[in-house]
Amino acid sequence: MDYAATLEQALARIADAADLDALEKLRVELLGKQGSISGLLKTLGGMSPEERQTVGPQIQALREGATSALATRKAAMESAALEARLASESVDLTLPAPAAPRGTVHPVSQVLDELAEIFADMGFAVATGPEIEDDWHNFTALNIPESHPARAMHDTFYFPDKDAQDRSMLLRTHTSPVQIRTMLDVVKANPGGAPIRIIAPGRVYRSDSDATHTPMFHQVEGLVIDKGIHLGHLKWTLETFLKAFFERDDIVLRLRPSYFPFTEPSVEVDVGFAIVNGKRVLGGSGDAPGHGWMELLGSGMVNHHVIRAGGLDPDEWQGFAFGIGVDRIAMLKYGMDDLRAFFDGDARWLAHYGFSALDVPTLSAGVGTPA
């Protein structure tokens, strides 16, 4: 048998293989268990020692030649396939990158930043406190009597636990406890007292739910404690704040006598508005033709019992306080109708009413620039 001719024939067939599948079939045909070259190796057992010395090296050379040719051809075909794949999957790096999903700042977060910016310009600091409160800080220290409806189970979320002083624990119903804690901290650091000017924004909880009320909402309260404070300071502060927040110079306030346990005297603050395109737009006097008055927030001079509970002498220190719903003024400013949408987590609503992360409120550029 001419083993050299057999090798040349095998090499020619290997070179003519069209693809990897054909090459694999040829490998099995030549070198598989039932392959032709493998069959030649099996014949060595029936030969004499002299024949094996002569024929064995030729068959081995045939096997090695075929194996080497198959490996070389396979590597070349795989390299060509890879080159073709890379050419078909090439990326044009000059093209713009695919648009990534972009989030927005929630209107409540934006409004809280706006409030902090406005009040910081008036010299107010931001104070915070725990959302889980005891009934002394939340009610008693604020001169809210035991019989007050706000203490009822159907209005307030109580915990079954009590604190170390056997006081009932609850989810705070307003941020007013922060005022008490701030006064106590100031007295601790400055015996005899010191001026206070803070706002206390944060989440509060009440058992209520409809289109304009949710069990959890956001509130900001302000507190000023100093000597010689009177209602004129309160009115100026609120007027300056509302003009800056709504970005209108024609905001007109009406202070109406009211009652809150923690302030005396107490006033409800009404703001003039008009209906424009079916929505309330603040501005102008409520007594003007086509206008009306809308109650916006509660305020008053801090009750002397509250000042005393905060560790200060009410004969020496006076102050005013006010509270307003953050969600409500966000709805008024940006034309939103349903408070419940604030907490739905609807990406479409957030895309419409949300703000860009770069829309940082500043008094010079405008505190309410939408995305």
Binding-site residue set for Mg(2+): 264
Q: CA 256, CA 8: separation in Å to the nearest integer?
A: 110
Buried b (16+ CB within 10 A) or exposed e, 67-95: eebbeebbeebeeeeeeeeeeeeeeeeee
Q: What is the gyration radius of the CA atoms in the chain, in angstroms?
A: 41
Peptide bond just before 265 cis, omega within 30 deg? yes
Residue with tokens 């003039």: 272
Q: Which long-range contacts (CB under 8 A, 24 or more apart) does 149-153 make?
A: none
Among 19, 152, 130, 146, CA closest to 73: 19
How many CB atoms within 10 Å of residue 183?
27
Can you read off the two tokens belonging to residue 308?
Answer: 């005393």
Q: CA 194, CA 319: separation in Å to the nearest integer?
A: 12
Among 148, 159, 186, 227, CA closest to 310: 186
Q: CA 335, CA 333: separation in Å to the nearest integer?
A: 6
Q: CA 8, CA 66: separation in Å to the nearest integer?
A: 9
Beta-strand pair 253-260/196-205: unpaired
Contact 253, 322 (CB under 8 A): no
Give every CB contact of residue 195 below 8 A, 6+ residues apart in sequence. Answer: 225, 226, 227
| Known binding residues | 264
Q: CA 66, CA 263: separation in Å to the nearest integer?
A: 101
Return the SS3 of 279: strand
